[in-house]
Amino acid sequence: MLALVDERMDSERAPIVRAFVREYMRRVEGEAHGQDAEALFNETLGVFELAAARDGAPVAVRAFNPVPAEHGYAARGTVLETNTEDLPFLVDSVSAELEARGVGIVRIVHPIIGTERDDRGRIVAVRHPREASAIESVMHFELDRALGPEELAALEDATRRVIEDPRHPYTKALLEAIPHPDPERRLVGSVLEGEIPSPIAPPSGCRFRTRCPVAIDRCAVEEPEMTVFGTGHTAACHVARAELEASV
C-alpha cells in the first residue's frame, strides 16, 4: 500500500497520504490480508480526497455506488463516506439513520485522524490524534444494497443533518440523560477508546455497548427498548430510560 502511495503521488502529497493510509490501515488491519492492495489503495485514497476537499466546511458527505473503472474498486452496495471534526457517537448516529431507512451495513471503517490544515482548510499533515491540533473522524460505510440516484441524494442530505445537528435523537437523548458537568467532552474522550461494534455480528444486548462510556451490566444482556423522551426524542438506552424514570 505504502509503495503504491510513493509510486502514484507527487513528492508534496506523498507524505500526507502515506500518514493517512497508515491511520486508515490500522482500522482494516484484520481484514486487509488477502484483499486486493490496489482496490484498498483506491478506497483509502477516495476517503482521503473527500477529507482533503472539505476545506473549512463543517462536514463532507458522499454516497455513491463504486464502479471499478471510476473508483478503482467494487462493493456489494452503496458506499457512504463522511469527514468532520470528531464528535460523540458519530458512527452510532449515522448507523441509526441507516437502520431507520431500512439499509443494512456490511462494513464500517472509522479511523480517527489528527490533522493540520492550513488557513485555506487544506490538509498539510496527518498525525496521530494525540499529536495533532485537530481531531477528525472519517467514516466509510458499505451498505447491503445499491441505492438509486434519489435515495443516494436523500441519504447524503440526511447524513449531513445527522452530523451537523447535535439534536439527533439518539445522541441528544443520551447526552441529556448522563449526569456530568460537561458530558459532551467526557463522551468524546471515551469514544476515542471504544471498540466499534461489528455490524455483521453485533454484540449481545445493546449494540453500542462496546464503545459506550456509560454502559452498565444490563447493557450486555438486554437489548434496550425504544423510549420517547419528554422532548419528543426517541432513544433505545437503558441509562437514558433509567434517568427518565428517576426524574418523574
Using the minimum distance from each CB to ligand SF4, give the nearer residue, 62 or 238.
238
Using the minimum distance from each CB to ligand SF4, give the nearer residue, 60 or 96.
96
Tell me the C-alpha distance between 234 and 48, whole Å. Answer: 34
CB 54, min distance to ligand SF4, A: 29
Summarize as ranges the residues that interact with ligand SF4 (CB under 6 A): 174, 206, 208-209, 212, 214-215, 219, 224, 237-239
Tell me the C-alpha distance between 160 and 62, whole Å. Answer: 9
Tally Cβ neighbours within 10 Å of residue 60.
19
Using the minimum distance from each CB to ligand SF4, give the nearer residue, 52 or 235.
235
Rounded to 10 degrees, the C-alpha dihedral 46/52/55/60 comes to 30
Using the minimum distance from each CB to ligand SF4, give the nearer residue, 47 or 237.
237
Using the minimum distance from each CB to ligand SF4, give the nearer residue, 140 or 238.
238
* Close Cβ partners of 40 (under 8 Å, ≥ 6 residues apart): 1, 28, 32, 73
CB 120, min distance to ligand SF4, A: 39
CB 194 within 8 A of CB 92: no
CB 219, min distance to ligand SF4, A: 3
Tell me the C-alpha distance between 84 and 102, whole Å. Answer: 24
CB 247, min distance to ligand SF4, A: 16
CB 163 within 8 A of CB 59: yes
Using the minimum distance from each CB to ligand SF4, give the nearer residue, 103 or 174.
174
Using the minimum distance from each CB to ligand SF4, give the nearer residue, 112 or 219.
219
Nearest Cα to Cα of residue 109 among 37, 156, 48: 48
CB 214, min distance to ligand SF4, A: 5
Nearest Cα to Cα of residue 200 among 52, 73, 11, 31: 31
The grid cell for 84 is: 468532520
CB 210 within 8 A of CB 148: no
CB 239, min distance to ligand SF4, A: 4
CB 216, min distance to ligand SF4, A: 6
